A = this chain, B = another copy of it.
Amino acid sequence: MPNLYVALAHYPVVNKNGDTITSAITNLDLHDIARAAKTYGVKGFYVVTPLDDQKEMTRRIISHWTQGAGATYNPVRRQALELIQLKDTIEDVRKQIEKIEGTPPQLVATCARRYPDSIGYIALRNLLGNGCPYLLTLGTAWGLAGEFINSADYILEPIFGETQYNHLSVRSAAAIIFDRLLGSR
């Protein structure tokens, strides 16, 4: 079984001007990525933000759907949102996965820009078969900060359709990446 985890980073990401910032949580990122992760058997979905008020808001959203009125109204949504855990930093996510798996995950960064030494979908799909844990990291806002991307073990190829336009939402990108890496073939 593929041993894939996903992190949605709100830091370190860049804004439109390329400055490193901390972005705000988007409610539908939590829902859409949790539902897609559950569909494809992703083992955990970590939402990364160092900001206390954003963590508190995220806890309230998750709690509504996992323990509050939403859990009764829509039990299948509950199953998805139960995959979410909040962490302050991507490093904290790595440590948590190391605790679970007994070995630290290989870190896979994603970016809409091309990098010369990126890994393709089929190559990463094949690697996932080796049983080692992998942490796929998605950036919000204008994407993950360059220093972070360059420090990752792998940089996943950007998603291109049949056009030169590649400005997908992070929710759409997550769905396509899970399908390419984990979907039935």
**What residues make up the interface of A, taking CB atoms closer than 8 Å to B?**
1-2, 16, 28, 31-32, 35-36, 38-41, 74, 76-77, 79-80, 159-163, 165-169, 171-176, 178-180, 182-184
Write out the residue numbers on chain B whose beta carbons fall within 8 Å of the beta carbon of A166. Answer: 39
Report the Cα distance A167→B178, complex, angstroms.
Answer: 14
Report the Cα distance A173→B41, complex, angstroms.
Answer: 16
Among the listed B77, B79, B80, B163, which residue makes an inter-chain contact with A40, where contact means beta carbons less than 8 Å apart?
A: B163
**A-side interface mostly:** helix
In the bound complex, do residue A165 and residue B32 qualify as a contact, i.e. CB atoms below 8 Å apart?
A: no
In the bound complex, do residue B38 and residue A167 qualify as a contact, i.e. CB atoms below 8 Å apart?
A: yes
Write out the residue numbers on chain B whose beta carbons fall within 8 Å of the beta carbon of A174. Answer: 172
In the bound complex, do residue B161 and residue A32 qualify as a contact, i.e. CB atoms below 8 Å apart?
A: no
Question: Chain copies in the assembly?
Answer: 2
In the complex, besides A28-B169, A32-B171, A36-B169, 4 extra interface pairs with C-beta distance below 8 angstroms are A32-B168, A35-B172, A161-B179, A169-B171
Report the Cα distance A79→B172, complex, angstroms.
Answer: 17
Query: How many whole Å from A180's CB to the nearest CB in chain B?
Result: 7
Residue of B nearest to A27 (CB): B28
Query: How many whole Å from A136's CB to the nearest CB in chain B?
Result: 14
Write out the residue numbers on chain B whose beta carbons fall within 8 Å of the beta carbon of A160. Answer: 39, 184
In the bound complex, do residue B80 and residue A167 qualify as a contact, i.e. CB atoms below 8 Å apart?
A: yes
In the bound complex, do residue B35 and residue A167 qualify as a contact, i.e. CB atoms below 8 Å apart?
A: yes
Residue of B nearest to A2 (CB): B162
User: Given A32-B169, A35-B167, are A162 and B176 neighbors across the interface (CB < 8 Å)?
Assistant: no
Write out the residue numbers on chain B whose beta carbons fall within 8 Å of the beta carbon of A39. Answer: 159-161, 163, 165-168
Write out the residue numbers on chain B whose beta carbons fall within 8 Å of the beta carbon of A79. Answer: 165
Write out the residue numbers on chain B whose beta carbons fall within 8 Å of the beta carbon of A40. Answer: 161-163
Report the Cα distance A16→B184, complex, angstroms.
Answer: 28
Query: How many whole Å from A78's CB to the nearest CB in chain B?
Result: 11
